[in-house]
Amino acid sequence: MKLACAVTHDMATNTFHEYTEADAPKLIADLKAARLVVGFNVKRFDYEVLRPYAGKKLILPTVDLLEDIYSTLGFRLSLDSVAAATLGHSKSADGLQAVKWFKQGQLPKVMEYCKQDVIVTRDVYLFGQQHKHIKYQDKFGKVKQVPVRW
């Protein structure tokens, strides 16, 4: 899989940075320069997409929200389900829609989707930091809490 685009958020400066495939070296350099990378499934997805551009596996100081959730619950949750229960709102679209937009050449829509994904991930992370838990809805519709140590 190749890199369509990427968006990062610098918490220190509250700025977003957008990257296209041509910017992959800059993206990797920025990630390596970061004190901490926070993402949702970042190790199993994002870093794997970037591996061919980096020439090796990326090993960075990382908080992978999904990895932490899985280690506690023993099963995976979607970012959308966590966001809905924790923040009270869902993501703007899903990954399959983003793939369609990319195939249709609608890169600005893909970039905006990525930015919204970053915002949701950041907000879930900050909620977990502040409250020491996040929430999800189980298969019976009951909202449950997951303790976190971010």
Average pLDDT over residues 44-52: 97
What's the confidence (pLDDT) of residue 84? 95
* pLDDT tens track for 108-150: 999 999 999 999 999 999 999 999 999 999 989 899 999 999 9
- The single residue listed with the structure tokens 């909620």 is 127
Q: How far apart are CA 133 and CA 44, in angstroms?
A: 23
Contacts of 55 (CB under 8 A, 6+ apart): none
Confidence of residue 53 (pLDDT cuts 50, 70, 90): very high
* pLDDT tens track for 88-118: 997 667 777 788 888 898 899 999 999 999 9
113-116: long-range pairs with CB below 8 Å, 24+: 114/5, 114/6, 114/7, 114/18, 115/7, 115/16, 115/18, 116/91, 116/92
Q: How far apart are CA 14 and CA 142, in angstroms?
A: 34
* pLDDT tens track for 10-23: 999 999 999 999 99
Domain extent listing, the chain: 5-140
Q: Superfamily for 5-140?
A: Ribonuclease H-like superfamily/Ribonuclease H (3.30.420.10)
Q: What's the distance, Cα to Cα, between the start and end of the chain in Å?
A: 30
What's the confidence (pLDDT) of residue 46? 97
What's the confidence (pLDDT) of residue 92? 66
Contacts of 22 (CB under 8 A, 6+ apart): none
Contacts of 113 (CB under 8 A, 6+ apart): 92, 93, 97, 98, 101
What's the confidence (pLDDT) of residue 78? 94
Calculate what percentage of the chain has a pLDDT beyond 70: 99
